[in-house]
Amino acid sequence: MDQDKKLEQQINEYQAVAKDNPDVNIGMLMMNALQNQKDNMVSSKGKRWAYFISLSVPFSGFVFALKYFMADEDDAKQVAWICIILTVVSLLMLWLGGKLLLSGSGTSLEQIRQIKTQDIMQLTQ
């Protein structure tokens, strides 16, 4: 909502200028302010790519979040937070999937830890 405050501040400044100088075209100034607001946003392609990577490659989402936290675009911090949320959701899904896979096989984590590499080598020969 920082964007809205900036836009409101610009409009108030334009209204003050228009009061001082009636020859100023305030409509054009406001249209210019709206156009500049749209130009300083993260591209939709960049957002889609960051969201897709955050969901599909869990820890890479944190890299995109860091990138957008340091970006200058108006909505970059919002994109960064969404990347973090999607990464956490992806990690939870990965963890739950692994847990379901292990519970469905009837094998416990302790049993897997007890497997010796020598036993695996004997099975493969």
Alpha-carbon distance values, 67 to 46, 55, 91, 94 (Å):
11, 16, 20, 24
% residues pLDDT > 70 (the chain): 89
Contact 6, 36 (CB under 8 A): no
In the Cβ-directed half-sphere of 37, how many Cα atoms lie within 13 Å? 17
The whole-chain average pLDDT of the chain stands at 80
Residue 100: pLDDT above 90?
Answer: no
Q: Does the pLDDT of residue 111 top 70, yes or no?
A: yes
Mean pLDDT of 71-75: 79
Q: Check residue 87 and give its pLDDT.
A: 94
Q: Is the pLDDT of residue 85 over 90?
A: yes
pLDDT of residue 83: 92
Residue 1 has pLDDT above 70, yes or no: no
Residue-wise over 27-44: b if at least 16 C-beta within 10 A, else e? eebbeebeeeeeeebbee
Residue entry with tokens 């249209």: 31
pLDDT one-digit tens code per residue, 30-67: 777 666 665 667 788 888 888 899 999 888 889 989 98
Q: How many CB atoms lie within 10 A of CB 46?
A: 17
